A and B are shown apart, each in its own frame.
Chain A
Amino acid sequence: QSALTQPPSASGTPGQRVSISCSGSISNLGSNTVNWYQQVPGTAPKLLIYSNRQRPSGVPDRFSASKSGTSASLVISGLQSEDEADYFCAAWDDTLSGPLFGGGTRLTVL
């Protein structure tokens, strides 16, 4: 099963609003919820968004997400230097019968 599709890179300046897309198919994003993970290089991934748009406690409300059909997006408002990281989307895939991840987007804060 192919990974969910994400742009390999994104960038923005401090204070800007940045959006990262995630595209899938009917067997994953089209039928199930999406989650987002943040991974600072050299560290473990961290849950950022679950169930399409829910933030775990401790995640700033600068991070938001949405899903429509077979696509999803993560939005970071008021970009900060510490947001520089890799971002992965993920969703249950009915063909895989398990979670399927996106290839990841490296966010650079200029």
Chain B
Amino acid sequence: EVQLEESGGGLVQPGGSLRLSCEASRFSLSGYWMSWVRQSPGKGLEWVAHISEDGYEKFYVASLRGRFTISRDNAKNSVFLQMDSLRVEDTAVYYCAIMDYNRVWWKDNWFDAWGQGAPVTVSP
């Protein structure tokens, strides 16, 4: 069974930074697109970013572009999310997820497996 484990969450002041990590066990991440999705307290899910198998293609939700950076290290079987200039409204549980897709039609994609989530709290 695929297992993803996030780490690096915690409490940070507004304007601060955090780096989330997501490590896979029992399988290799290198052949998959990977994503970060967040969920604010009591609210719905919001896609944050995703990165191609080789790390060369990166896409972000427009509202976060410039503050968040997604990266990966396939040798370490890990994906990362660097979060800078954090704001109170960034408070959420951050999930990493494997993004699978239809090889004929890219837009037909879905989040196949999820980690347990890393809680991030931004508060003065």
Query: A residues touching B (Cβ–Cβ < 8 Å)?
Result: 3, 31-33, 35, 37, 43-47, 50-51, 56, 88, 90, 92, 94, 96-104
Contacts and interface: CB of A to CB of B under 8 A. Distances in A.
Contact of A56 (B37, B109, B112): B112
A85 to B, nearest CB: 14
B59 A88 contact: no
Please classify how large the interface on chain B is, using the bins under 10, 10 to 19, 20 to 34, 35 or more.
Answer: 20 to 34
Contacts of B109: 92, 99
Across chains A and B, which 10 residue pairs bring their CB atoms closest together, nearest first?
A: A50-B110, A44-B114, A92-B107, A101-B45, A35-B110, A99-B47, A33-B108, A103-B44, A98-B47, A104-B44
B50 interface: yes
A45 B39 CA distance: 10
Contact of B102 (A37, A51, A88, A102): A51
Given A44-B116, A50-B100, A88-B44, 18 more contacts: A32-B108, A35-B111, A44-B114, A44-B115, A45-B37, A45-B114, A47-B110, A51-B108, A56-B112, A90-B111, A92-B108, A96-B61, A97-B59, A98-B47, A98-B59, A99-B35, A99-B111, A104-B44
